[in-house]
Amino acid sequence: MSDTALPRTARVIAPAGLAPGAGYSQVAWGTGRTVAVSGQVALDEHGALVGPGDPEAQARQVFENVRRCLAEAGATFADVIKLTFFATDVAQLPALRAARDAVIDTARPPASSAFVVAALIRPEFLVEVDALAVVPATAD
């Protein structure tokens, strides 16, 4: 088993007997306060769709929205231990990975899952991402 510390409280491991993840970690955990970010879609601060028909633009907006949610909870992408991707076409996964790679430490990526789905909540949404983070406990 290989155990690697992430920048704050999260840790990732590659369990013995499992192939290493290609762009994700097999297991991640942390000690502290848990932050769950609901699935984010490509809406700007006014509720307007960003990037109609453009999975790259939508993926960038989705990760910006995740970043804003994390920041509001006192977290950063360094605290993320799990990401879940939803795409309406497998061809959109590279756009999600590129947007993810722009904001995470790719040497120690979080655990991740990806799903290709028939549709998201509105037909113009191509991708969605939710996140789970662990930040140091504070005396709130």
Mean pLDDT of 105-118: 94
Task: Give the pLDDT score at 140.
Answer: 53
Task: Give the pLDDT score at 17.
Answer: 83
**Contact (Cβ atoms closer than 8 angstroms) between residue 62 and residue 40:** yes
Architecture of domain 2-135: 2-Layer Sandwich (3.30)
Identify the three-state secondary structure at position 14. strand
Name the burial class of residue 54, with classes exposed (0-12), middle (13-18) and buried (19+) by CB atoms within 10 angstroms of its CB: middle
Mean pLDDT of 86-105: 97
pLDDT digits (tens, 9 = 90+) for 16-64: 888 777 788 778 777 889 999 999 999 999 999 999 999 999 999 999 9
CB contact burial 64-97 (16+ within 10 A = b; e otherwise):
bbbbebbeeeebbbbbbbbbbbbbbeeebbebbb
- Does the pLDDT at position 2 exceed 70? no
Q: What residue segments make up the domains of the chain, in order of their start?
A: 2-135
